[in-house]
Structure 1
Amino acid sequence: MTSSASATSTTSSTSFTPQVVLMGTNNFTQPPQSLIAINSTQIPVKLSKSGNYAAWRSQFENLLFGYGLMGYLDGTKPCPPATIPNLSTTSDNPQSQGTAANPDHHIWLRQDRLLLHAIQVTCTGAAQSIVTRSSTSAQAWEKLESSYANRSNTRKLGLLDSLTNVSIAEKSVSEYMQGIKEILDNLELIGHSVDDGAAVIHVLNGLSPNYLPLASAIRARNSPILFEELYDKFLDYESFLKREDIKKGGQQITAQYNQRTSDRRGRGYQGHSPHMGHTQQFGHYNSNNHQQNIGSASSGGRGFSNQGNSYRSGNQFSHTQQWRPPATNN
């Protein structure tokens, strides 16, 4: 009875075919020793540079920990041996009859290659070239950590210097705060965490004068402010500044329009003033020319001729005003 049960167990273990389960589907129940293929869409942040390594690693670790696969990367689940002793099942006292292939070894290799593939497809640029020649997921994981999570003192000083010299310049609030967050994550990754108080000071020191009112209000607070809360406040203040710029732009356009309208009206008035000026200049009382002017005006208003002032045609004044002789005592 015992030998028959052991034979059945041996046959089932050698003929077991692992099932590949694509995570992210509706397959919530997994059979024992099932293979898990990670979908790349489950890791939205792609590793492209050292700046986003902390974010990429965090989401990758959380995903693998949830699936129970983190042991492949940290070495807590080593590869099983390729062969196992082949025990004899023909007698009541099983004896070793050489070795046989270990099915767990093949399953482990297949699962590890699926993890290596997940690491490769979530890396781009220089990060992808680092893991291209890796043969196991643990090897690729170690290469990325040594490349982007260097714990040397030089890297720590470089990150601290970058944090001290941050500046918003022409960046948006989102770009500015995201850059600072990446520096803080990299510092924490190498074991040098920065508390919220110091992080807030670095953020305020890199702001432009436009954000001075908000920065002064934050410095005057009696209670400390968290980095995430500071992020939200600066986003709201950025929206306020944009609305103010739109209002100022509309007021400036209105002022320019009013100025141009005023200039046109002034030029239009000056366009009629030469006729008035000439009338006043050449229409002064002259006893010798006065009789000629009266005679010319009485002859149909076609014009008048003055020896001192050559007005050849009175029609050029017909559109402005009718000529009248100057009032005199005579």
Structure 2
Amino acid sequence: MSSPATSSTSISSTSSPPVVLLGANTNNPIQHSLIAINSTQIPIKLSKGGNYAAWRSQFENLLFGYNLMGYLDGTKTCPPAAISCPTRTPENQTPPETVANPDHHLWLRQDRLLLHAIQVTCTGAAQSIVTRSTTSAQAWEKLESSYANRSNTRKLGLLDSLTNVSLADKSVTEYMQGIKNILDNLELIGHSVDDGATVIHTLNGLGPAYLPLASAIRARDTPISFEELYDKLLDHESFLKRDESKRSGPQITAQFNQRTFNRRGRGYQGNSSQSFGSHNSN
């Protein structure tokens, strides 16, 4: 039998102790320690698919850092359940002995940990899609086919949503985040929208209060990026809030002064009437 493989240090704080392997499969190397994905490492939870692009991006980046993406894309296949172990004898005539492959069991355990990570980061409709999956690759493929639909109908629907975006009573952050989600989903199905078209759609959805800013941006000689537009909209939103607070302050003071004057006027008239009555009687 081959010498024990060197165990790697566990990356996740919730992972199990390092697992020492005997007879490791060098043609399809796998992690020698189990890595458990903590749910706090995936802050964005997948629900109805509207945030699938963002959820998938953070999941892929995390697994790439842990060198675990092979479980999901099929490049790190499951090792065989049994391996041949040659028996040493003086005549060397004894047939090889078949023993259980420790790589196989470790692969299954790591794959189930990844499947669990996918399931706990899915909620609602997304969770029902992956509930009956038996491998992480199967759950990944189901979500891909459900939410990364590349049909023309989905593309037209997303483009229509981008055309009809409206700020309405939303904050700038909510408004821009909704546009970003649409752009991410379009990118996911292979249809990217350039910054120029994105800026036009964003400006068209703003209300009359943002008309001066929209006019200034359209009159620019140099194009503006989506990120820069986001910053300018936030600044203009803050300006509108400050202006509204300044306008409401004098109105409240004027109403208070008007009430005070009315009370004093009525009181003065009442006292004058009494004085006039007393004068007449005298």
TM-score, scaled relative to structure 2? 0.86
Post-superposition shift, 1:121? 1.1
Contact persistence 2:14–2:36 (CA under 8 A): no
Post-superposition shift, 1:96? 4.0
2:99 maps to: 100
C-alpha distance after superposition, 1:27-58 (max 9, x if no partner): 9x998611111111111111122111111100
C-alpha distance after superposition, 1:81-120 (max 9, x if no partner): 1122242322575764353221111111111111111111
**Structure 2 counterpart of 1:74, which letter?**
D
C-alpha distance after superposition, 1:216-252 (max 9, x if no partner): 1111111111111111111111111111111111111
C-alpha distance after superposition, 1:300-326 (max 9, x if no partner): xxxxxxxxxxxxxxxx414xx896xxx
2:10 maps to: 21
Q: 1:30 to 1:80 in 2, by over 3 A?
A: closer
Q: 1:82 to 1:26 in 2, by over 3 A?
A: closer
Residues 1:135 and 2:128 are matched in the alignment: no
1:69 maps to: 68
Aligned to 2:215, the other structure's residue is in SS state: helix
Contact persistence 1:149–1:190 (CA under 8 A): yes
For residues 15 and 112 of structure 2, the distance between their equivalents in structure 1, rounded to whole angstroms, comes to 23
For residues 245 and 172 of structure 2, the distance between their equivalents in structure 1, rounded to whole angstroms, comes to 18
Aligned to 1:157, the other structure's residue is in SS state: helix
**Structure 1 counterpart of 2:230, which letter?**
Y
**Structure 1 counterpart of 2:10, which letter?**
V
1:208 maps to: 207
5+ residue gaps, structure 2, are 21-30
For residues 203 and 92 of structure 1, the distance between their equivalents in structure 2, rounded to whole angstroms, comes to 81
Q: 1:67 to 1:133 in 2, by over 3 A?
A: same
Choose 16-25 or 228-237, whichever is displaced more. 16-25
The structure number with the bigger radius of gyration is 1
Q: 1:138 to 1:241 in 2, by over 3 A?
A: same
Q: 1:30 to 1:163 in 2, by over 3 A?
A: farther
For residues 81 and 26 of structure 1, the distance between their equivalents in structure 2, rounded to whole angstroms, comes to 24
For residues 86 and 110 of structure 2, the distance between their equivalents in structure 1, rounded to whole angstroms, comes to 27
Residues 1:317 and 2:262 are matched in the alignment: no
**Structure 2 counterpart of 1:256, which letter?**
Q
2:27 maps to: none
Matched-pair identity in %:
74
5+ residue gaps, structure 1, are 1-6, 280-315, 324-330
Contact persistence 1:21–1:30 (CA under 8 A): no
For residues 94 and 146 of structure 1, the distance between their equivalents in structure 2, rounded to whole angstroms, comes to 53
Contact persistence 2:87–2:97 (CA under 8 A): no
Contact persistence 2:150–2:189 (CA under 8 A): yes
Contact persistence 1:73–1:138 (CA under 8 A): yes
Contact persistence 1:22–1:38 (CA under 8 A): no
Post-superposition shift, 1:142? 0.4
How many residue pairs get aligned? The number is: 271
For residues 158 and 122 of structure 2, the distance between their equivalents in structure 1, rounded to whole angstroms, comes to 23
For residues 94 and 117 of structure 1, the distance between their equivalents in structure 2, rounded to whole angstroms, comes to 47
Contact persistence 1:21–1:37 (CA under 8 A): no
Higher relative contact order structure (alpha carbons within 8 Å, sequence separation ≥ 6): 2
Alpha-carbon RMSD across the aligned residues, in angstroms, is 2.8
Contact persistence 2:15–2:36 (CA under 8 A): no
1:225 maps to: 224
For residues 90 and 164 of structure 1, the distance between their equivalents in structure 2, rounded to whole angstroms, comes to 77
